[in-house]
A and B are shown apart, each in its own frame.
Chain A
Amino acid sequence: MTFSPELEARFAKMIGNYPPGRQKGALIPMLLYAQDEVGSMTPDLIQEVSRRLKVTPLEIEEVIGYYTMLAREPRGKHHIQVCTNVSCQARGGEELFAHACSRLGLHNKEKSADGQFSIEEVECMGACSWAPAIQVNYDFYYDMTPEKFDKLIDSLRQMQ
């Protein structure tokens, strides 16, 4: 399988970052960056990474089972992650998550039928002083309110 030239360049550089013979170190970064392009941990992707890093597919499966950001199934185009841990909880994170679910008509870890949105309740994302916080893919949104959330969803829909 082939990747974009940018990703190929990143991989080429990445493998050199680990000691000789220990290129397995690049496994987790490689999977995550590849997922950004491919969408999820497809069998093709696992085969390809296995070949490049000289690790067995089983070793890759072990890793995929452990890390929450590595997804077996593609997530929505806009993957919405709402933190409800203690700092966000104190400032309305749980209410925000409930609002987000009903607004999108989704339950935790579900994806909309058109593939545009998916939602997940997540643990602390390190934005505690600006709580409640959400992340859409890799973008943070701070000091959220249900009103701000609705506006954000509207603007994301218009991006389509």
Chain B
Amino acid sequence: MNQPTLLRPPHPLEVRVLTRRFEYPRTEPVWLDEYLRTEGYQALRKALDLTPEALVDEVKKSCLRGRGGAGFPTGMKWSFVDRKSPKPKYIVVNADEGEPGTCKDRILMGFDPHRLIEGCLIAGRAIGSNRGWIYIRGEYRVYIDIMDRAIEEAYANGYLGDNVLGTGWSFHLSTHTGAGSYECGEETALLESLEGKRGNPRLKPPFPAVSGAFQCPTVVNNVETYSAVPDIILKGGEWYAGLGTPRNGGTRLVGLSGHLNTPGVYEVPLGMNLLTIVNELGGGVWKGRKLKAIIPGGSSSPVLKADECDIPADYDSFAKAGTMLGSGATVVLDDQTDMVRVLARLMSFYAHESCGWCIPCREGTAWLKKITQRLDSGVGASKDIDLIDQISNSMMGRTFCPLGDAAAMPAMAIARKFRDEIEAKIQSTQAFVPAPGTRPLVVL
């Protein structure tokens, strides 16, 4: 189970809650023995003595918000599940990490798998569930194997099974592999996939809390969200909330990537200034270059220009700045980056991953790909920039699932904020005249 050290030495600005067991340069996961030595499963023991209502209240108090992208308050999500329903209730972990820029869930599963299991157990206790699945993307076989082994350890030692720690409460957990689909990171598409079908999204409502996996009430949360729960129960919701800013509780992982000196996954309190994160933790822009733009929350979040980046990194401040915290994936781009090329690459990604279930997304992403590639290959025209805006606008809010918005938002943001650069690229390629008798490279 040896893995390369993906960890960085701790940085003084980090606040380590989720990553407190990650001493550098760790290569082995924290297995059960070590987990138990470091307060492991203490939160579960405490949770077993509390009522489900008290557990949900504690999570509400913590102001923990979903770390997968949408930032929905976790405690509130749990409270939507009807505990008195005669149907079974299910826990589902979304570990289909695929948002470009995002690489944090693999760290949590790869180094502290029991933390996730404990989080699932507490969530299961809170909603009256006896069964959970960890849906892990197929490419992450190494992490599936680590989680499988940790689950086996937990079964062998009475933390999972028909009689959890002798309380008579049963809770079962297993991994479930995906097989290559970004769309399955969307919670309802993930549930379809869990049921053995194509990952097409479901119409909402009903939300999964009412009708989720196998048409039963289900809580779907991200790996990082569940992983935060043990410490919240152990040390209290108020303590956790106090680490962040009002309404944005706790710490979160940021995955720093792109043109940085020290890219990596770091844990920071909510509300740390985005430029501090980039310049201190990320070591600043590489090769002595200047910052051009930051994609602050995974590829779906609208890009921020360098002069817009001096803001606190929390859900509300980012929303005010017209972008989103998303999955905490921060892609930093230097001043030599060709934004047209970035845009074209992103649009080809969304066109590839659109599941084709609804028309605005299927057609919209395909056209955005065509148009942006045209611009990138030097045969675009100014009117294409307006066309990007128009198509994106027609997609926003009109698709079954957020994939349509996820493609439209960055397209619109780059087309608007970097219009000058796109125009310049068009101008610089105007001199190109096709030889007589040849056809243009791209035909609309």
List A residues at the B interface (Cβ < 8 Å): 14, 17-19, 22, 24-29, 31-33, 53, 55, 59, 62-63, 65-70, 81, 84-87, 89-91, 123-131, 135, 138-140, 142
Contacts and interface: CB of A to CB of B under 8 A. Distances in A.
B103 A142 contact: no
Given A53-B196, A84-B345, A86-B299, A130 B6 contact: yes
B101 A19 contact: no
A90 B331 contact: yes
A55 B106 contact: no
B180 A68 contact: yes
A108 B256 CA distance: 29
Nearest to B197: A63
A117 to B, nearest CB: 18
Contacts, number: 154
Given A86-B100, A86-B299, A25 B331 contact: no
A53 B430 CA distance: 59
Nearest to B333: A90
A67 B329 contact: no
Nearest to A68: B180
Given A32-B179, A126-B105, A19 B331 contact: no
A21 B98 CA distance: 31
A126 B139 contact: yes
B142 A140 contact: yes
B100 A90 contact: no
A6 B352 CA distance: 35
Interface in B250-301: 255-259, 263-265, 295, 299
B255 A67 contact: no
Interface residues of B, number: 59
A148 to B, nearest CB: 13
A19 B88 contact: yes
B178 A123 contact: no
A68 B138 CA distance: 10
Given A68-B180, A69-B138, A126-B139, A86 B133 contact: no
Contact of B258 (A28, A55, A87, A123): A87
A20 to B, nearest CB: 10
10 contacts: A17-B176, A66-B198, A66-B355, A81-B139, A86-B331, A86-B345, A123-B352, A124-B99, A126-B139, A138-B142
A141 B50 CA distance: 45
Given A123-B352, A126-B105, A85 B257 contact: no
Given A67-B181, A128-B257, 12 more contacts: A17-B176, A22-B195, A22-B214, A24-B197, A31-B179, A85-B299, A86-B346, A126-B103, A126-B139, A128-B263, A129-B264, A130-B103
B214 A129 contact: no
B196 A28 contact: yes
B47 interface: no
Nearest to A63: B198
A14 B175 CA distance: 9
B440 interface: no
B174 interface: yes
Interface of B: 4, 6, 88, 97-103, 105-106, 131, 133, 137-142, 172, 174, 176-182, 193-199, 214, 255-259, 263-265, 295, 299, 329, 331, 333, 337, 341-342, 345-346, 349, 352-353, 355
Contacts of B197: 24, 59, 62-63
A125 B103 CA distance: 8
Contacts of B342: 86, 89
6 tightest Cβ-Cβ pairs between the two chains A and B: A27-B196, A69-B180, A68-B180, A67-B179, A24-B196, A128-B257
B88 A70 contact: no
B193 A28 contact: yes
B194 A25 contact: yes
A12 B342 CA distance: 46
Contacts of A70: 179-180
Given A68-B181, A123-B100, A126-B105, A85 B195 contact: no
Contacts of A63: 196-198
A14 B148 CA distance: 12
Contacts of B102: 124, 126, 128
Contacts of B180: 67-70
Contacts of A55: 196
Given A17-B133, A66-B198, A128 B101 contact: yes
A28 B96 CA distance: 14
Contacts of B352: 123
A85 B349 contact: yes
Contacts of A18: 214
A26 B258 CA distance: 37
A66 B195 contact: no
Nearest to B8: A129
B9 to A, nearest CB: 14
B102 to A, nearest CB: 6
A55 B195 CA distance: 12
B345 A85 contact: yes
A152 B97 CA distance: 26
Contact of B4 (A19, A124, A129, A142): A142
A104 B256 CA distance: 32
Contacts of B257: 87, 90, 128-129, 131
B106 A26 contact: no
